[in-house]
Chains A and B, each alone.
Chain A
Amino acid sequence: MSKILLVMERDLQSLIRHKSILVMRWFFVIVQIGIFGLAVSRLIVVMPNYYNYYAMGVIVMTMYSVAIFTGYEIYDEADDGFVEYLLSLPITRRELVLGRSLAGGLRSFIFMSPIIAVFLLIIGVLDPLKVLTALAALYGFAFGVSGLSITLAVGLKSGDRFDIIMGALDAFIVRLSTALYPQAFMPGPIATLSMFNPLSYATDLFRWSLNFDIRFLANPAVALIVLVIFLMTFNFAGVMIYERNLEGGSWR
């Protein structure tokens, strides 16, 4: 356990180093929620309180994009030869992957926490249990995304392929989810696909925790189960692929 915490410590340090990226992303989220969200919510008249729906979706989307950053770091480290150093340390591969996944989730959580805090104050949800449930949903999702990112980074073994896959995933995972619009308003095939998207369940669970109208959300119990399966699957896959692909030196 202590080794996992040390791996997390190292990855969390790198968050502090990327101050300019953090500030840029904060601006993006603030502008997106504060300007675009306000404007577009005036257009949406068929759904009550669309502004809150949209803002919650943007928060989860941003957590996704920060958590996915772990995979890019793995590529940078492979280019610098740093992966060899990590593999030489008395840390099991499982500790390494879990530490990095947990840290990846925590980093996106820390990054978004000021915005989440302000948002909760604005919408007036201060019930500790609800807040904790909402935060747990967010962290669970970010942890899973980090595991997904590690799995793809190590599994694909090519920076170019990883960039393409992540770019495509980024485009589709948001559009084919309930992050920005409820399933009830989606065309049939897209609505079906959104049911297989963990982002849909993470955002809906987050919204449910914060008292959003249940008619527009997925069943919270189902959402919770999907999220748990998602984070366990990709972290387990990350460990397996990391051991198989990196232990043998095939990153070279």
Chain B
Amino acid sequence: MGLTKKYGSTLAVDHLNLEVQEGEILGLLGPNGAGKSSALMMLSTIIKPTEGTAEVGGFDVRKNPYEARELIGIAFQEAKLLWMNTPWEILNWHAKVCGVKNPRQAAEAILKELNLWDARKKLALELSGGMKKRVEIAKVLVQRPKVAIVDEPTAQIDISGKYQIWEKIRSLRDEGSTIILATNELSEADRLADRVAIMYHGRLRVCDTPRNLKDSIPGGDVIDIRFETPVEDRTVSELKGIAGIVDLALVKPTHMRIYLNRAEKMLPKIMQLLSTLHVGINSINMKEPSLDDVFFHYTGTILDETQATPGVPSP
């Protein structure tokens, strides 16, 4: 409810209004610096909002932070481990603090499930980046909180590890936890989230199911064209003149995205026009709208490709 966070003059979260439904996975999608982590930190009572407030399970995070914390488990973007502790000590202690019954058994089960059992006696500082991240995720999995917050859960994790963690997050949801998943990976949001909220420059741009978001893109299809040289204004205006093209946007000077109906019928006309204008083309890709298109449509920018998951196909 109007959740706002300022760091000095920097507005990190700008009057965020968002309701998360019980038992859903809400994907909070946005690039680094969009305000996702700050919003989650306020929700988990680690930092106080500058304005507005939020409720977790009916508890106001400003007035009843302790009660809110009892319902929340958070896996941070960067693993927060004491480097002189072992995964076994970390999970065992975390389980005890969070009131888990049979903490030792719970910790053992999760360590085995996440392939960390053999590394249970290593100091955290000796673990690889991926292993540290898995220990961080394991904290939420061992806790099984009412509200689980996972901030970029598969960053630094290899492909098979990603699939494993996605499965665990789904299981957590199926067991009754509400999950808020912050990510800058489109495929992760598309695979896991029941609803996706797009944040950009601290503000919520849109929130709906992935299907509804994709359907909200004008036209039923998308054609992505990458040109050899920057697109000239004349090319843009000529393309806009073709009947059936609903919208058109330049992602980059050499990268155009065309929203239209019945792309397979329209493509020859577009090709013919571009040929007439002597425009060099590097590649053409015809597809249904993806979350990438949704993100572009609502923010006017694309998520940095370097943040995307290499080798993981979109569902």
| A and B associate | yes
A6, CB-defined interface residue at 8 Å: yes
Q: Judge whether B46 and A249 touch: CB under 8 Å.
A: yes
Contacts of A18 in B (CB 8 A): 84
| B99 smallest CB distance to A (angstroms) | 7
B80, CB-defined interface residue at 8 Å: yes
Q: A9-B93, A14-B84 are in contact. Are A90 and B47 (CB under 8 A)?
A: no
Q: Judge whether B82 and A14 touch: CB under 8 Å.
A: yes
- Residue in A closest to B99 when the chains form the complex, CB atoms: A90
CA distance A87 to B47 in the complex (A): 9
Q: A82-B80, A88-B44 are in contact. Are A252 and B7 (CB under 8 A)?
A: yes
| Cβ < 8 Å to A, chain B residues 39-89 | 41, 44-48, 65-66, 69-70, 72, 74, 76, 78, 80-85, 89
Q: Judge whether B76 and A84 touch: CB under 8 Å.
A: yes
CA distance A162 to B94 in the complex (A): 29
| 21 sample A-B contacts, Cβ–Cβ < 8 Å, listed by A number | A3-B97, A9-B93, A10-B82, A13-B85, A13-B89, A80-B83, A82-B81, A84-B41, A85-B76, A85-B80, A87-B46, A88-B72, A89-B97, A89-B98, A90-B70, A90-B98, A91-B97, A247-B48, A249-B46, A249-B47, A252-B47
Q: Judge whether A90 and B82 touch: CB under 8 Å.
A: no
CA distance A17 to B76 in the complex (A): 25
Q: Judge whether A10 and B78 touch: CB under 8 Å.
A: no
B96, CB-defined interface residue at 8 Å: yes
- Residue in B closest to A2 when the chains form the complex, CB atoms: B96
- Residue in B closest to A77 when the chains form the complex, CB atoms: B82
| A227 smallest CB distance to B (angstroms) | 31
Q: Judge whether B66 and A249 touch: CB under 8 Å.
A: no
A34, CB-defined interface residue at 8 Å: no
Contacts of A87 in B (CB 8 A): 45-46
Q: How many interface residues does B have (CB within 8 Å)?
A: 28
A248, CB-defined interface residue at 8 Å: yes
Q: How many interface residues does A have (CB within 8 Å)?
A: 24
CA distance A89 to B96 in the complex (A): 11
Contacts of B81 in A (CB 8 A): 82
CA distance A249 to B62 in the complex (A): 13
CA distance A18 to B200 in the complex (A): 45
Q: Judge whether B98 and A248 touch: CB under 8 Å.
A: no
18 more contacts with CB within 8 A, not counting A81-B78, A249-B41, are A3-B97, A6-B97, A10-B93, A13-B89, A14-B85, A80-B82, A81-B76, A81-B80, A82-B81, A84-B41, A85-B76, A87-B45, A89-B97, A90-B69, A248-B48, A249-B46, A249-B48, A252-B47
Secondary structure call for the A interface = helix
| Cβ < 8 Å to B, chain A residues 53-106 | 77, 80-82, 84-85, 87-92
- Residue in A closest to B66 when the chains form the complex, CB atoms: A92
- Residue in A closest to B139 when the chains form the complex, CB atoms: A85
Encode B94-105 as 1/0 by CB contact (under 8 A) with A: 101111000000
CA distance A81 to B79 in the complex (A): 9
Contacts of B46 in A (CB 8 A): 84, 87-88, 249
Q: Judge whether A84 and B80 touch: CB under 8 Å.
A: yes
CA distance A91 to B94 in the complex (A): 11
| B192 smallest CB distance to A (angstroms) | 22
Q: Which residues of A contact B (CB under 8 A)?
A: 3, 6, 9-10, 13-14, 17-18, 77, 80-82, 84-85, 87-92, 247-249, 252
CA distance A202 to B80 in the complex (A): 38
- Residue in A closest to B73 when the chains form the complex, CB atoms: A88
- Residue in A closest to B81 when the chains form the complex, CB atoms: A82
CA distance A80 to B97 in the complex (A): 20
| Cβ < 8 Å to A, chain B residues 91-139 | 93-94, 96-99
Contacts of B72 in A (CB 8 A): 88
Contacts of A89 in B (CB 8 A): 69, 94, 97-98
Contacts of B96 in A (CB 8 A): 6
Contacts of A252 in B (CB 8 A): 7, 47
CA distance A65 to B47 in the complex (A): 32
Contacts of B41 in A (CB 8 A): 84, 249
- Residue in B closest to A9 when the chains form the complex, CB atoms: B93
Contacts of B44 in A (CB 8 A): 88
CA distance A142 to B149 in the complex (A): 38
Contacts of A6 in B (CB 8 A): 93, 96-97
- Residue in B closest to A17 when the chains form the complex, CB atoms: B84
Contacts of B76 in A (CB 8 A): 81, 84-85
Q: Judge whether A88 and B69 touch: CB under 8 Å.
A: yes
Contacts of B66 in A (CB 8 A): 90, 92
Contacts of B84 in A (CB 8 A): 14, 17-18
| A113 smallest CB distance to B (angstroms) | 22
CA distance A179 to B220 in the complex (A): 83
Contacts of B47 in A (CB 8 A): 248-249, 252
CA distance A92 to B99 in the complex (A): 14
CA distance A247 to B63 in the complex (A): 12
CA distance A92 to B65 in the complex (A): 9
CA distance A252 to B81 in the complex (A): 18
| A247 smallest CB distance to B (angstroms) | 7
- Residue in B closest to A81 when the chains form the complex, CB atoms: B80
